Every structure is written in C-alpha cells, then in structure tokens.
Amino acid sequence: MSYGHADKIAQAADRAARQEAARPPIDPALYRREDVCRVLAVRDIAALYRLLRQEGTSQRQIAGLVGQSQSEVSEIMKGRRVTAYDLLERIALRLGIPRELMGLSYGEQPPSGGGTEGTEGVEVDDDMQRRDALAVGFMAALGAVPPFAKLLDSSAAPKEVPLPSRLGTADVAEVRQRTQELRLTAQTEGGQARAANAAAASYRRLTAVPAAEAVTRSLGSALAELEELAGWCCYDAGLDRHARWHYRTAVNLAHRVGDTHRAASALRYAGVVDANQGEPNQALKLYQVAGLMLGKQDPDISAWLYAVSARVLAEMEHEQAADYLNRARDGWQATEPAERADQDYQTAVVYVRLGKLDRAEALTASVNGIGRHRPVGTFAKILRATIHVRTGEPGGVHMAYEAVGEVARLRSLCARKRLIPLIEELESRPSSSDAGEVARLARRVVAA
C-alpha cells in the first residue's frame, strides 16, 4: 500500500470519526416512549442497546458513552445480562436516563413494569404505601411489577421516629435497658461500635424534650453512661476520634446534671485512649482532672485512677509507679465483679512493667469473665500466657494457643493488639516449632 493511499484512508477515517462525534446526543424524549420505558423498567440493557442502534446510535458511540469496549457492547446486545448495580448506575448516568425509570432511586431491587411513583415533594398517604407494598411483593415473587402497582422512590421514606411530647421515667428506663444490652454484648464479644454509636445518637435527641427536673437529672446520667459505653466500643474498634467525642459528650451531659461520678468515669477512659496512643502526659492530665473533680467522694474510681496512672508511670519508667499502685490497692473498695476484674487486670499489667511477674501471674489467674466494658478475662489470659512463655514455663505455648483462639472469636481490636507482645515472646523461642506455629496463627488473627 502506498503512503498516498494510506493517507487518504486515514483522512476518510478521521472524517467519519468527526461525523460520528458530531451526532447530537440521545434525545431524552426517547426514554419516555412506551416501548423504551418497558425496557428500562426491567433493566434489559441488551434491548436498550438494540433500540439505540435502531435510532441511529452506533456501537462505537454506545461504547464511548457508557465507558465500555465495543466487544462488551456487542456481547450485551447478543443477550449478556447486566445486573451489577454500579454498572447500571453508570449506564443511566452516561446515557442521560432518568434514574427513576430504571428504579435506581429506589435501591438495589429493580422495579419491573410500573416504574416509580415519583414522590419527591409529594405527601405519601396510606393508599400510596399500600400500592407500593403490592408492587414490592410482585417484584419479589415474580420479578415484575404490574402496571396497576406503583413503586415509591427513596424520598417517600418516613421521617425519623417522632419524639415524645414529654419525658417520663419509662423513657429513662429504656435508655438504661438499651445500655445494659449493649454492654453485655461488648463484654462478651467486644466491638459493637456501630450499634453503640447509633444508640447514643438516637437517644441523645431526648434532651430536647420537656421533662420534670428529676427525670431530666436521671436522663442526663443515663445518657452519659450510654455515651461512655459508646466511647469504649469505638475505642475497642480502633475508632479513637469517635471514642474521644463520646467521652467528651458523656462528661458534658453528666456535668449538666451534677453527676460527678459519671463525668470522672468518662474522663478516665478518655485518658486510657491517650495512654494507648503513646501520649502519657496527656493521659495523666486527664486522670488528674478526674481526681480533682472527685475529691474524696468516690474511692472506687479514685483507686482506678491511681491504677491507670501507675500503668502510665510504669511505662515511662517513673519511680512513682509503685507508689501509685500501692495507693490504688489500699483505697480499692470495688464491690462489683466487673470492676474487681478490671482493677486486678490493671494491677497485673503494672506489675509486669515493674518486673514483678509472680504477682502479675497470680492476679491474671484470678481474673475471670468480663470487665465493665470488655471481655477482660481474655485480656488476662493473653497476659498470663505471655508471662509463662517469657519465663519458659512448660505449658506456656499451649496457654498461648488457647488465648489466641479466644481472641479470634472476639470483635475486639484491643484484644488483637494485646497479642503482639505474646507473639514477640513466642518468636524469641526459635528452638520450639510449636511456639513458631502459634506465633504465625496469632499474626493471622491480629491481621484479621
């Protein structure tokens, strides 16, 4: 082929491409035609492409408009079904198809036949909802919506559940009950950030409702307790910023109603977040503010504050760590098993930092079950296994294996992080193939 012929062919191809590019966009009126509406309603993209071809749009143009290759367009026109929601959305967007005609404003379930009601800005009455229920039923059962049934779009969803006109003790009891349900799940399974965050946001709306003074005080304390729990759940899921905000909200709610105990309790947990982020000085400041707030009113939380302060000081290798730990144990008057378990575990962690492994091991052996917000018994098993592996005890590797198995069943990022020192101890024993295998298993659990 001569260069002259090649040049003429290239020019002809260029002219054809320019002519094709200059074609006017698809007329939006096409999508309102009865035959096209039927095709769109069932999301039959193959039939849609064939209709576009009949209207003079080339395969190349369709491919260019929707961002597919010509071969893909050809396969679809031959009958390949398109079901991926993101691709359907892209096709609608690129071809200028109103989303409601393909049911894309309703959700992932495709409406077939009757289309959507187009309810934006329209008051939805009971009759419209009845027709919608019938349409959804037909769609689920038969894959098609008959013409007499109408689907509503997402704008027809009811608004948020209305607040009561006035609060009573039953509303406060509902908040406390929901908090206890969430706490029990967090204590046994860990995590629960999404559920606790949603519950806190929903019940926080109650503060705008009129109530008697006594109910207002009770509600403030109940909401502060829920916010504190939501803070821990978020922290346990690795959402530290969410956790801080929940703790801050808890302090504010408790302060408004004069609940010093709850405000100081939330501050101590805010300090735990900073301590575990490598900000010991900030954590100590929060513990000190909480202690200042309490004075001598609450020996239980005061002892707890001494314990977490001792932990931070021990990690800083500060000489006062042991003194703070002694103060925590001397003033400790915890009566609830969950508080006792938390206190023993905190003390054991400090003893490990101070090199007093015998005392730490004895405490971890006594910690069972659950702490106030967490499955602290599992945390204690991890720490005990770490001590046994470090000291070369014969059953240490088996204890490590059991601890890793427990962590694998939890939805707790904190528990997974506590496996890292155990992994390091296992990997420091190169002569033990069992230790190496458990370490590899633990790393998989940490990464999960």
Task: Say yes or no: 21 and 105 in one domain.
Answer: yes
| Rounded Cα–Cα distance for residues 230 and 380 (Å) | 23
How many angstroms separate the CA atoms of 397 and 414, rounded?
21
From 154, 178, 212, give the residue that closes a domain. 154
- With bands split at pLDDT 50, 70 and 90, how would you rate the model's confidence at 198? very high
243 in Cβ contact with 275 (< 8 Å): no
**End residue of a domain, out of 270, 297, 324:** 297
pLDDT at 332: 65
Q: What is the pLDDT of residue 253?
A: 95
306-340: pLDDT as tens digits: 888 888 888 888 888 888 888 877 766 666 788 78
Q: Give me the amino acid identity at 29.
A: A
CA distance 448 to 437: 17
Residue 132 and residue 87 in one domain: yes
CA distance 53 to 76: 13
**What confidence tens digit (pLDDT) does each residue in 353-369 have?**
888 999 989 989 888 77
Domain that holds residue 113: 3-154
User: Which stretches of 173-313 are assigned E, i.e. beta strand?
Assistant: none
Distances (CA, A) of 370 to 115, 256, 336, 443: 53, 31, 11, 24
Q: Do 30 and 123 belong together in one domain?
A: yes
**Is the four-CA dihedral 128, 130, 131, 135 of positive or negative sign?**
positive
Task: Classify residue 19: in a domain, yes or no.
Answer: yes
Residues 200 and 231 in one domain: yes
Q: Which residues contact 343 (CB under 8 A, 6 or more apart)?
A: 303, 304, 307, 328, 332, 334
Question: Largest Cα–Cα distance in the chain?
Answer: 101
CA distance 243 to 276: 13
Q: Which of 297, 323, 350 is a domain's end point?
A: 297
pTM above threshold 0.95:
no
Confidence of residue 196 (pLDDT cuts 50, 70, 90): very high
Chain mean pLDDT for the chain: 84
Span 210-262, pLDDT tens digits: 999 999 999 999 999 999 999 999 999 999 999 999 999 999 999 999 999 99
Mark whether 141 and 112 lie in a shared domain: yes
Q: Same domain, yes or no, for 150 and 172?
A: no
Residue 284 to residue 290: CA distance in whole angstroms: 10
Which residues, at least 6 apart from 280, have a Cβ–Cβ distance to it below 8 Å? Answer: 274, 312, 313, 315, 316
Q: Which residues contact 1 (CB under 8 A, 6 or more apart)?
A: none
pLDDT of the residue at 5: 46
* Domain harbouring 288, CATH code: 1.25.40.10
The verdict on residue 162 lying in a domain is no
**Adjacent-strand bridge partners of 145:** 113
